[in-house]
Structure formats: structure tokens, C-alpha cells
Amino acid sequence: MKKRLLAVLLLSALLFSSCNFPSPTLPREDQPLYVPPAGQTFTPPATPSPDPSARIKLGDEVVLPLVSLAFSPLASVDNSGLPMTLSLGEDKAVMNNTDETLFFSLSSESAGVSPDAQACLTNLLSRMRADLPELHASEATEIAAAGLTGVQTELSGTLLEAPMTGKLAVFQVQSRCVSLLGAAAVEDPQTLWQETGQYAFQALLGGLRFLPPGSVPACLIATDPEYAFSPENPIRVGSVNLYDGVSRMEAYLNTLRGPNMEEINYIRINPQYNAENEIVDAYQINYAGSGEPITIYFSIYSYETPMAPLGFSCEAAFPLQRP
């Protein structure tokens, strides 16, 4: 026990006495482990900013036959991946997001006596102000797209009882006024337009193609492979009353053609209910070389601009108007 205590005392004495050791005779300068070259400083790499336009996804190209205009519709516009809604007509297309806070419209009308794109814009704004009295449009500036020169203006005002910010571009082509309108209508429209809307607008504008007359089909061709072939996605021909439904469906079928303009033979079969408990009328059709009959479905209870099913064509524009 005495030996252990003596050892502890001895170690303690050595530790305290080491603090009083004399300095080495030769002084030593501590050197840094790394000295950067003169004039060189280390700058951390900048964090790349996300490209807002990368969020914009486009769908398959669609042709508006009355306008001889092809465009790629918006599929989605943000990281949510929620799809945009697309409504088509022979001379117009309308797109909106799920929240109905972003709207885009591509439309065409006869130029009439309008000599140029500026006159088209003036007439269009005049009609818009009749419906939107608070609409303000900036001074028009020149814009180029699809090999054409047009005019554009910044818009602000109120739309659907919400503040609105957007843009309108107008071209005159083939004696028609063609316009692309984009708008954000929400409590803070400026932010939504700057962060998303303007990039979607530019994506639509960049995808426009004006086609030579006679180079486009006479009717819209569906891009959805289930259109007409599924009871859930019937051809919506509408009706004035229940008695003209059959004549409207058969006017459609008399205009429809096979992929190489073959005439269509058809026979009406029993109607059925789809998943929404909606009655859909069914026809079996065939054409030379088609093989087994193909069943397509109609609804006479609602109307949408009729299109030819994917893989089919048409002799002319379908002779149907909204009832």
C-alpha cells in the first residue's frame, strides 16, 4: 500500500514539474499545413438554381384542322405532376390546371378586314373588354414564333372574380387571326405567372407550327387510344331531343373513314351502361382489310367536338354542331 501511494505521489510530482521544463535552445516556427498560392482564394461551388422551364411537360402534337395549326398541348406545369385539362375544337383549344388558377387558350377566327396582327389584337382586346371591364393591356410589342411575326401584350385585371395577370400574343396567318392567351387568376397572380405561367406560355408558343393549306386532315384526330373504343370515353355527339340522336351518330359514321380513307360499314348493337351509369350507344364497324368488327361507343347526352378515333381518318369535317 505504501509503495502504491509513493508511486502516485511521484507521478504527480513529475507531471507538475514538466510545466517548468526550459524551452529548447533552438526556437522553432510553426508552419501552416497548407499555404494557398498567392492570389488564389477558395470559393465554394455555387448551388445550381432549378430551371423553371424544366417543369413544363408537353403532350403529343395536336392539329386544329380549320386553322392549319399544329401545337403540343400542356401535359403538366409543375412538380405536382397533376395533368392539365385539354378541351379541343376545330379552331380552338383550351387548357387549365386542376386548381383552375392557370388558363391557356389557343384560338382562331376570320381576319375579316383586319390587315395585320396589330388590327387583330385591337379587335380582340375590344371584345375582351366588353366582358372584362377592368382589363388593362400594356403597349403591344413585336414577337416572333413559328416563322411568323406578330404582336404581344401584357394583361392584368380581374377574371372569375380573382385578380389576373397574363399575356396575349396574336398572329395573322392565312387570312385568320390566331391568338394565344395565358392567364393566372388567383389571389397572388403575379407570383404564379412569374414562377409557372410565363414558362408554360413560352413552351406553347415555341411549339406552334402553321401548316400549308390542304396538308392537314379535315377533322381532329384523337390522341387518346381509348377515345371511342371504351364506354368510359365515348364520342359525345349530343342531341336536341332523343329522336335525333341516331341521325347524329350516323352522320358521324358516314363521314368517318379508315386509316387509308376506306369507307366504313356499320351496324347498331345493344346500348349499355358505363361506370358512370351513363347509357352509351354502341356500333360495330369495319372497312376493307380491317378484319374483325370494331366496336365504338357514343353518348347522345352531352356534346364535345367530335374527333376521329386514333388510327382513323375522315372524309370531311364532321357535320355536327353543339345542340
Local confidence pLDDT in tens for the 323 residues of the chain:
443 333 333 333 333 344 443 444 455 555 555 555 665 555 666 555 578 888 999 988 888 887 888 899 999 998 887 899 998 887 899 999 999 999 999 999 998 888 899 999 999 999 999 999 899 999 999 999 988 899 999 999 998 889 999 999 999 988 899 999 999 999 999 999 999 999 999 999 999 998 887 777 788 899 899 999 999 999 999 998 878 899 999 999 999 999 999 999 999 999 999 999 999 999 999 999 999 999 999 999 999 989 999 999 998 889 888 88
Helix or strand run (H / E) with residue 86: strand 85-88
CATH code: domain 54-210 is: 3.40.1000.10
**How does pLDDT run across 226-266, given as a tens digit for each residue?**
999 999 999 999 998 878 899 999 999 999 999 999 999 99
Sort strands 294-299 and 235-236 into parallel, antiparallel or unpaired.
parallel
Whether 166 and 184 have beta carbons less than 8 Å apart is answered as: yes
Q: How far apart are CA 179 and CA 160, in angstroms?
A: 21
Predicted TM-score (pTM) of the model is: 0.68
What are the b/e assignments for 160-184, b being 16+ CB within 10 Å? eeebbbbbbbbbbbeebbbbbbbbb
**How does pLDDT run across 101-150, given as a tens digit for each residue?**
999 999 999 988 888 999 999 999 999 999 998 999 999 999 999 888 99
Domain locations along the chain: 54-210, 235-314
